[in-house]
Chain A
Amino acid sequence: KQEVTQIPAALSVPEGENLVLNCSFTDSAIYNLQWFRQDPGKGLTSLLLIQSSQREQTSGRLNASLDKSSGRSTLYIAASQPGDSATYLCAVDNTDKLIFGTGTRLQVFP
């Protein structure tokens, strides 16, 4: 059974720092991995989708990498801003269904 873990559970950093969020999964036979952002009380916003054949994807200040063989993905956020404060969720798809991690709650303070 696929299990997804995100470390750390919470992170507080000053504005301007570069930071890395981690996601690990137990079954490497995935179709893709998706990173989401969730603001309090809101739905999920898709940030990046990495197909199983890809190593990384970039969007603006965000860069996500995927290492299927080791069951790991990282989300790199450059030059963090207070507006980046949210919960970040990763999810893997290996059976036409997404399996989610419990998220990393990020706070960026001025």
Chain B
Amino acid sequence: DGGITQSPKYLFRKEGQNVTLSCEQNLNHDAMYWYRQDPGQGLRLIYYSQIVNDFQKGDIAEGYSVSREKKESFPLTVTSAQKNPTAFYLCASRPGQTSYNEQFFGPGTRLTVL
């Protein structure tokens, strides 16, 4: 099955901990994205990568970090510097490096800070 997988589905973090959310795609897409969704708000872009070993900050990158060592993987680390990390996190990918193709989304990870 081709698609985007995110793990875990649910994640609980204690104050002061770093946690890493996994995103893997087997669609051979070049570009990958991380979004955050809060209740009643639209999705907001955290980081994106259009090519291996390169990534750019989105609108709300503070307190987050990413890596893109492989084309199929784009993990997101939520650091202790992120003051309000409880949210639903969505990973997406898109073929090519331009804006003419649609984005496809994974099933999401719900992160809760205890």
A86 and B27 alpha carbons, distance in the complex (Å): 26
**Bound-complex Cα distance A103 to B9 (A):** 23
B111 is an interface residue with CB less than 8 A from chain A: no
Closest A residue to B110 using CB positions:
A41
Interface check A58, CB cutoff 8 A: no
**Residue A108 at the B interface, CB < 8 A?**
no
Chain B residue contacts of A94, Cβ below 8 A: 99
Measured between beta carbons, the chain B residues less than 8 angstroms from A97 are: 33, 45, 48, 58
How far, in angstroms, from A41 to B89 measured CA to CA in the complex? 11
Interchain Cβ contacts within 8 Å, total number: 62
Q: Contact: B103 with A46, CB < 8 Å?
A: yes
Interface residue count for B (Cβ, 8 Å)? 28
Contact residue among B42, B45, B100, B107 (Cβ-Cβ distance under 8 Å from A89): B42
Task: Compute how far the CA of A99 lies from the CA of B33 in the bound complex, rounded to whole angstroms.
Answer: 12
Q: Is B102 an interface residue (CB 8 A)?
A: yes
Point out the residues of chain A lying under 8 angstroms from B99, CB to CB: 31-32, 93-96
- Per-residue B-contact encoding for A70-110, CB less than 8 Å = 1, 0 else: 00000000000000000001010111111111110000000
B41 touches A102 (CB 8 A): yes
Bound form: Cα–Cα A51–B101 in Å: 9
In the complex the two chains form, is A96's CB within 8 Å of B98's CB?
A: yes
A96 touches B50 (CB 8 A): yes
- Complex: A89 Cα to B43 Cα, angstroms: 9
Q: Could you tell me if A51 and B100 are in contact, using CB atoms closer than 8 angstroms?
A: yes
Q: Does A61 contact B (CB under 8 A)?
A: no
> Residues of B contacting A89 with CB < 8 Å?
42-43
Min CB distance B43 to A, Å, is: 4
Interface residues of A in 31-75 (CB under 8 A from B): 31-32, 34, 36, 41-46, 49, 51
A11 at the interface (CB under 8 A from B): no
Sample (6) of A-B pairs whose CB atoms are under 8 Å apart: A32-B99, A32-B100, A46-B102, A49-B102, A96-B98, A102-B40
